[in-house]
Amino acid sequence: MDTQTFAALPPVPETVTIGGETLDITPLKVGELPAFARAVRPVASKLTPDPDWLRLLSEDGDSVILALAIACRRPPKWVAALALDEAIHLAEAVFEANADFFIRRVVPEITRVSQRIGVMIPGAMPSTDSSGQGTATPTS
């Protein structure tokens, strides 16, 4: 079997026990993405491969709580009532499940589709630099 065979299989949930409940953490579904994206937007630039969850919670706690609630499919009040260590454990599980999903499945698919569309549009050429021809250069 190759990687394409495994890509067709549904993701295996990561099962965690948080707040006395057993949760199956899986990648977000399309219908959950708009609300999740709005919730995570204030903290998106602060997300790294090894996020500082305490900093994120202290600076943007409401956004993190809402994003976690959407991703674990529980009410925000449930997430807000978690102990700090449980909230961090939940955040790690959600981040790992969705980071892997986006890196391995969404990004390659978006890249493939955008390249295909670029080929189909007459005159469309991929940009190789951000300044382009319109950038003025001083001559004096």
Q: What tens digit of pLDDT does each residue of 40-68 get?
A: 888 877 877 778 878 888 899 999 999 99
Confidence of residue 86 (pLDDT cuts 50, 70, 90): very high
In a domain, 79, yes or no: yes
Query: How does pLDDT run across 104-115, given as a tens digit for each residue?
Result: 665 566 677 767
pTM: 0.66
Q: Which of 80, 100, 104 is nearest to 92 (CA)?
A: 100
- Cα–Cα distances (Å) from 46 to 1, 35, 41, 122, in that order, read 38, 19, 10, 38
In a domain, 48, yes or no: yes
In a domain, 119, yes or no: no
In a domain, 4, yes or no: no
Q: At what angle do helices 33-40 and 53-72 cross, to 10 degrees?
A: 170
Q: Could you give the number of structural domains in the chain?
A: 1
In a domain, 84, yes or no: yes
With a pLDDT cut of 70, the percent of the chain lying above it is: 66
In a domain, 50, yes or no: yes
Contacts of 89 (CB under 8 A, 6+ apart): 16, 18
In a domain, 127, yes or no: no
3-state class (DSSP) for residue 16:
strand
Give yes or no for a contact between 19 and 78, defined as CB atoms under 8 angstroms apart: yes
3-state class (DSSP) for residue 126:
coil
Phi, psi of 71 (to 5 degrees): -70, -30
Among 16-25, 43-52, 64-73, which stretch is predicted with the lowest mean pLDDT?
43-52
By residue range, what is the domain housing residue 24? 20-112
In a domain, 3, yes or no: no
- Kindly report the CA angle at 105 between 115 and 49, in degrees rounded to 5? 110
